[in-house]
Amino acid sequence: MTTSITLSAPDYTDSDFQRLQSIARAQAGICLPATKKALVYSRVSRRVREMQLGSFKEYLDFTTGSAGTVEMEKLICALTTNVTGFYREKHHFDHLKSVVMPDFAAALRKGKRGRIWSAACSTGQEPWSIAMSVAGSFPEIGNFDFRILATDINSDVVARAASATYAPDELEGIPEKDRSLFLKESEGGLRFSEGLRRLPSFRVLNLNAAWPFHGTFSVIFCRNVVIYFDDETREALWKRLAERIEPGGFLYVGHSERVANAKQCGLVNIAPTIYQKED
């Protein structure tokens, strides 16, 4: 006779959901509307079971307690989506290559510092697409004062992005020319070349907390992340990002996003999902 152990579904009450709403808002600026109650259950119950706890209450008591720091990060990760892709929303990369790069390359040649920020980089497809775009238009870029900053709140996705390695079936969206120029066979899949790997720096960063760096950027990609935030958090973030964009620089936002307070931020909407900082 075989015995199987079935873990019963952890208890999940309205009050647990309200606690999760407050935690998500306070820790990451994430807004969880009531319509997400079931989705939140399916994502967080996995964590509750993994911790071998019988209810959301026990899980939340642990996570908000003094020993819960690591689990809190896992909880926030469980509440966010990491969907991304190489050259996702391609018109931003076309704009980067055709409009931004000619002046940007000329300024770098004159000794100017150049920075681009991928502000919610997920598993790295966005910053690596930026790296391929800039190096494709300006192959000597590695010899100049240029860096890509790639950040995300989730340390697992940041580590994955920094590995620069992807399985062959994850490379969809990368044109053949870029594959042959920038990807090399490696253990575990294909890896971005050494030259390209010098361009990005990867960091864990909560966009709604303090940013431990100074300086401005010529271009900021902040795409498909503010959809999780409420209006107040979103507008505050646009303002802070705009303050970090150089005059004449650009902000790219996700396809379903817009900067409602663009004028207050000194941003002009020059094309769908593309904003330029006033000179």
Ligand X SMILES: C[S@@+](CC[C@H](N)C(=O)[O-])C[C@H]1O[C@@H](n2cnc3c(N)ncnc32)[C@H](O)[C@@H]1O
Q: Which residues are catalytic?
A: 43, 152
Nearest distance in Å: CB 131, ligand X = 14
Please name the residue that has the structure tokens 């044109």.
Answer: 175
Per CB under 6 A, the segment of 59-67, 76-84, 188-196, 270-278 that binds ligand X is 76-84
Under the binding rule (CB under 6 A), the answer on residue 133 touching ligand X is: no
Under the binding rule (CB under 6 A), the answer on residue 16 touching ligand X is: no
Q: Under a CB-based contact definition with an 8 Å cutoff, are residues 126 and 150 in contact?
A: yes
- Tell which one of 96, 120, 161, 245 touches ligand X (CB under 6 A): 120
Pairing between β-strand 114-118 and β-strand 146-152 as defined by DSSP bridges: parallel
Under the binding rule (CB under 6 A), the answer on residue 207 touching ligand X is: yes
- Structure-token pair, residue 33: 């509307």
Cβ proximity to ligand X: between 53 and 121 the closer is 121
In order of 8, 19, 29, 80, 123, the CA distances from 62 in angstroms are: 19, 13, 21, 20, 28
- Tell which one of 1, 5, 83, 210 touches ligand X (CB under 6 A): 83
Residues 23-62 touching ligand X, rule: CB under 6 A, are 28-30
Cβ proximity to ligand X: between 144 and 228 the closer is 228
Cβ proximity to ligand X: between 101 and 119 the closer is 119
CA dist 265 and 34 (Å) reads: 31
- Tell which one of 21, 133, 218, 224 touches ligand X (CB under 6 A): 224
Nearest distance in Å: CB 120, ligand X = 3
- Tell which one of 18, 81, 143, 256 touches ligand X (CB under 6 A): 81
Binding mask 135-174 for ligand X (x = CB under 6 A): -----------------xxx--x-----------------
How many residues touch ligand X (CB under 6 A)? 24
Cβ proximity to ligand X: between 10 and 254 the closer is 254
Under the binding rule (CB under 6 A), the answer on residue 10 touching ligand X is: no
Cβ-based neighbour number of residue 158 at 10 Å = 21
Cβ proximity to ligand X: between 61 and 231 the closer is 231
Chain residues that interact with ligand X, rule: CB under 6 A: 28-30, 80-84, 88, 120, 122, 126, 152-154, 157, 206-208, 223-225, 228, 254
